[in-house]
Chain A
Amino acid sequence: GQQVMQIPQYQHVQEGEDFTTYCNSSTTLSNIQWYKQRPGGHPVFLIQLVKSGEVKKQKRLTFQFGEAKKNSSLHITATQTTDVGTYFCASPTNAGNNRKLIWGLGTSLAVNP
C-alpha cells in the first residue's frame, strides 16, 4: 500500500546546530502536511505544501516539497531547546476523495543545551 517513509527516526543535536527530517514516497503525493508533537503533548499542525517545488518558511523552519512531489523536507536552522519533539509528515491517500492521511513514523529531535 501507499507509504510515506520518514528519516531519520531519531536525531540528537547541540543547541545551535541545524536539523533536517525527510519524507519520501514512491508515488506522487497530492500534498503533504507537517505536524509537531511535543513530549507528552498532541500533534500540532505546522504547514501544508501543495505545489511542486514549493518552499515555505516559518521563522527558523523551512519546508520544501520536491519537484516530483514525491519527497519533502523540514529544516530547522540553529535549533533551540523549544524545538524538542517529534516531527511527523502526513499525506492523503491517493485512493478515494482525500479521506485518510498516511503518516510517517516521525523524527524525534533532542536538543542538548
Chain B
Amino acid sequence: EADIYQTPRYLVIGTGKKITLECSQTMGHDKMYWYQQDPGMELHLIHYSYGVNSTEKGDLSSESTVSRIRTEHFPLTLESARPSHTSQYLCASSEAYVGNSPLHFGNGTRLTVT
C-alpha cells in the first residue's frame, strides 16, 4: 500500500472558516495532485504540482489554493469555506507523469461545510 497520508479524515466546519487539508507522502514523488470527488461520482482534478515551488490549477475551477514548499508536503487551503465546498478531497502522487506511472491516493478528507 502507498505511503500517502491525509488529515483530517473527516471535517465538519462552519461557513466562512479557513481550513487547510494536509497531504504528505514518503515515497519521494515529485508529482502530486488534488482531486475533488462527490460520493459515487467522477474525479475532478483541482490542483497539481510537478515539484517544489511548482503548482498549477486543474480542470475544475476551485476556490482553494495549494503550496509545495517541500517535496513530501502538498497542503490545500480554503480561505473561506462555503457549503458548496462540501465534498471528498483526495490527494495523490505519482513517480512519473501520469500515463507513465500509476497514481497513489491517500484515504481522502470528507469535508462538510454547514
**A and B from one complex:** yes
Interface of B is mostly: loop
Instruction: Judge whether B102 is part of the interface by a CB distance below 8 angstroms.
Output: yes
Chain A interface: which of B13-21, B39-47, B66-74, B78-86?
B39-47
Tell whether, in the assembled complex, residue B99 and residue A98 are in contact, meaning their CB atoms are under 8 Å apart.
yes
Inside 8 A of A101's CB, which chain B residues have their CB? 45, 98-99, 103
Give the bracket for the number of chain A residues in contact with chain B: 20 to 34
Tell whether, in the assembled complex, residue B103 and residue A100 are in contact, meaning their CB atoms are under 8 Å apart.
no
**Which of B48, B58, B105 is A44 in contact with, Cβ under 8 Å?**
B105
Complex Cα spacing A100 to B43, Å? 12
Tell whether, in the assembled complex, residue A45 and residue B102 are in contact, meaning their CB atoms are under 8 Å apart.
yes
B residues neighboring A (CB under 8 Å) = 40-43, 45, 48, 58-59, 90, 97-100, 102-108
Instruction: Judge whether A31 is part of the interface by a CB distance below 8 angstroms.
Output: yes
Complex Cα spacing A64 to B58, Å? 29
Inside 8 A of A91's CB, which chain B residues have their CB? 99
Q: With contacts A42-B105, A42-B106 known, is A98 near B98, CB below 8 A?
A: yes
Q: List 10 A-B contacts (CB under 8 A).
A: A30-B99, A33-B99, A41-B107, A42-B105, A45-B104, A48-B102, A98-B99, A101-B45, A101-B98, A106-B42
Tell whether, in the assembled complex, residue B107 and residue A42 are in contact, meaning their CB atoms are under 8 Å apart.
yes
Complex Cα spacing A104 to B107, Å? 20
Instruction: Judge whether A103 is part of the interface by a CB distance below 8 angstroms.
Output: yes
Q: Which of B105, B106, B107 has the most CB of A within 10 A?
A: B105
Instruction: Judge whether A88 is part of the interface by a CB distance below 8 angstroms.
Output: yes
Q: How far is the CB of A81 from chain B (nearest CB, A)?
A: 18
Q: Which of A43, A44, A48, A88 has the most CB of B within 10 A?
A: A43
Inside 8 A of B42's CB, which chain A residues have their CB? 88, 103-106
Q: How far is the CB of B101 from chain A (nearest CB, A)?
A: 8
| Complex interface bits, A17-37 against B, C-beta within 8 A gives 1, otherwise 0 | 000000000000011010100
Tell whether, in the assembled complex, residue A108 and residue B40 are in contact, meaning their CB atoms are under 8 Å apart.
yes
Inside 8 A of A108's CB, which chain B residues have their CB? 40
